[in-house]
Amino acid sequence: MILEPSSPLTFIPFNSETLKETLRQINRLVASGIIEKYAIAGGIAHFYYIEPSVTFDLDLIVAIAKEENTLTPLTEIYDWSKKNNFETLAEHIVIAGIPVQFLPPYNDLVKEALENRQEITLFEEVTYILSPEYLMAIMLQTGRASDKERLTKFFDEAVYNNDLFEDIVIRFNLTVQLSNFRKIYE
């Protein structure tokens, strides 16, 4: 179940059909040339690798196909949503009942994570997801309480390449954060 805490969409049923239709629409954005590439991130990406927990939306890291004003990089996506009669709710576009947040890569780690995304099939729809090693590094970098909780689950439950994870940690200067995390959570 996806929850949106402060909106009219308090309880959104999360099922295979709603996610399948949402992914189908996102793939249409790619086919239309508005988005160059994307990857599922955030809570729904975590569900793919670890035991599910509550999330509020579907987070997508997106590379925009055209050069656009850096102050409004998502204008074409919001224009597309209006043309297709998708409701907007704050920064989200509600597609098939699921609030979707489109996020341009906001730092070098996220840019590299998007470049190294993995192709998967969910509910018979081809889609892309950040790898567990990059998700773990992003959680370490972000450092929110919810990220630390999920990172603990990743270490315990996810199948990941530890050498790759350690390489990412070193290259993005996250060794202190990892050391501090391990002192507290392991």
pLDDT of residue 6: 38
Output the pLDDT for position 50.
92
State pTM to two decimals.
Answer: 0.88
pLDDT value for 53: 73
Q: pLDDT (tens digit, 9 = 90+) per residue, 7-53?
A: 444 445 567 888 999 999 999 999 999 999 999 999 889 989 998 77
Residue 9 has a CB neighbour count (10 Å cut-off) of 19
CATH class label, 1-130: alpha beta
pLDDT in tens, 80-99: 999 999 999 889 999 999 99
pLDDT at residue 2 above 80? no
Domain segments of the chain: what residues? 1-130, 131-186
- Contact status, residue 125 vs residue 48, Cβ threshold 8 Å: no
Mean per-residue pLDDT of the chain = 89
Query: For the segment 119-158, what is each residue's pLDDT rounded down to a tens digit?
Result: 999 989 999 999 999 999 999 999 999 899 999 999 999 9
Q: What pLDDT score was predicted for residue 67? A: 64
> What would the DSSP string read from start to end of the chain?
-EE-TTSS--EE---HHHHHHHHHHHHHHHHTTSEEEEEEEHHHHHHHHS----BSSEEEEEEESS---TTSTTHHHHHHHHHTT-EEETTEEEETTEEEEEE---SHHHHHHHHT-EEEEETTEEEEE--HHHHHHHHHHH--HHHHHHHHHHHHH----HHHHHHHHHHTT-HHHHHHHHHHH-
